[in-house]
């Protein structure tokens, strides 16, 4: 039995006890942009793309509990301008060459750039020097594409129980590191079947010998804009509830 209702962009949405705004919106088929959020992990709230306006105050939808009679604004010009700026900064802070990236068409960062109509990077590219680690027999680690969402860190720690990945440094000096004295992926206990290998939303962690198995043009976000899966799931939930 639902605990109450919130209003998201004028639509009344029910929520269950303990749900966050992100969970309530997703169940209702309303897409809130995000990069660091994953439904299997404790909410992190680091990427700030899921920022929404709740009763006049900006909060992270992934960490904010749903409470009765909240008035939530999600799809507004102001919030989308903020999100676009965040995406632009992520693009210039790393080295994201979409046409040459194996993740193109499956990359959430790229898909959000399209959704938010990002037509230029706006800011000056920083062109950081980041190491590509191809030492592992089955997994490639390209730090140039890392957006520091920490999904691989949390997956390795909370699901795989291995603590393979971590972040070091602050600000522009932040870097993805691996748990080995050599600093090389080959000297960790990472397996190609680990959750940490598949959870990356960009092209920083890739399985070897599987590149371009699905041609560009036929990939997930080539076929449908990001957020469409949420909308379909929400429609199914509504049809089920009204049986």
pLDDT digits (tens, 9 = 90+) for 131-178: 999 999 999 999 999 999 999 999 999 999 999 999 999 888 899 999
Which residues lie below 8 Å from residue 81, measured CB to CB, with a gap of 6+?
none
Residues 6+ apart with CB under 8 A from 35: 47, 49, 90, 108, 109, 112, 147, 149, 201
pLDDT at 3: 75
Domain ranges of the chain: 1-127+219-243, 129-211
Name the class of domain 1-127+219-243: alpha beta
pLDDT at 171: 86
How confident is the model at residue 232, as a pLDDT?
A: 59
Which CATH code of 3.30.930.10, 1.10.357.10, 3.30.70.20, 3.30.465.10 fits the domain covering 129-211?
Answer: 3.30.70.20
> What predicted TM-score, i.e. pTM, was given to this entire model?
0.92
What pLDDT digit, counting tens, does each position of 80-121 carry?
A: 999 999 999 999 999 999 999 999 999 999 999 999 999 999
Rounded mean pLDDT of 228-234?
68
**Of residues 240 and 209, more confidently modeled:** 209
Asked whether the domain spanning 129-211 has the same topology as the one spanning 1-127+219-243, the reply is no
Contact call for residues 86 and 200 (beta carbons, < 8 A): no
The percent of residues above 70 in pLDDT, for the chain, comes to 94
Question: What does the pLDDT average to over 31-59?
Answer: 95
């Amino acid at each position: 039995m639902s605990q109450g209702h919130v209003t998201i962009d004028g639509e009344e949405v029910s929520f269950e006890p303990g749900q966050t705004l992100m969970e309530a919106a997703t169940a209702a088929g309303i897409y809130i942009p995000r990069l660091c959020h994953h439904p299997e992990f404790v909410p992190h709230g680091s990427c700030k793309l899921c920022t929404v306006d709740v009763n006049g105050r900006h909060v992270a939808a992934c960490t904010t509990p749903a409470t009765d009679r909240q008035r939530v604004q999600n799809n507004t010009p102001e919030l989308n301008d903020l999100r676009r700026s965040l995406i632009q900064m992520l693009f210039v802070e790393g080295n994201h060459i979409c046409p040459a990236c194996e993740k193109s068409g499956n990359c959430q960062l790229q898909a959000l750039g399209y959704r938010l109509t990002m037509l230029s990077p706006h800011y000056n590219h920083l062109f950081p020097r980041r190491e590509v680690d191809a030492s592992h027999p089955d997994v490639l680690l390209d730090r140039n594409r890392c957006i520091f969402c920490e999904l691989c860190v949390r997956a390795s720690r909370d699901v795989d129980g291995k603590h393979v990945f971590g972040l070091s440094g602050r600000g522009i000096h932040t870097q993805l590191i691996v748990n080995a004295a050599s600093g090389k992926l080959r000297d960790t206990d990472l397996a190609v079947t680990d959750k940490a290998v598949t959870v990356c939303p960009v092209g920083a962690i890739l399985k070897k010998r599987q590149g371009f198995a699905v041609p560009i043009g036929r990939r997930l976000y080539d076929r449908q804009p990001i957020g469409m899966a949420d909308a379909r799931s929400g429609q199914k939930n509504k049809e089920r509830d009204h049986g």
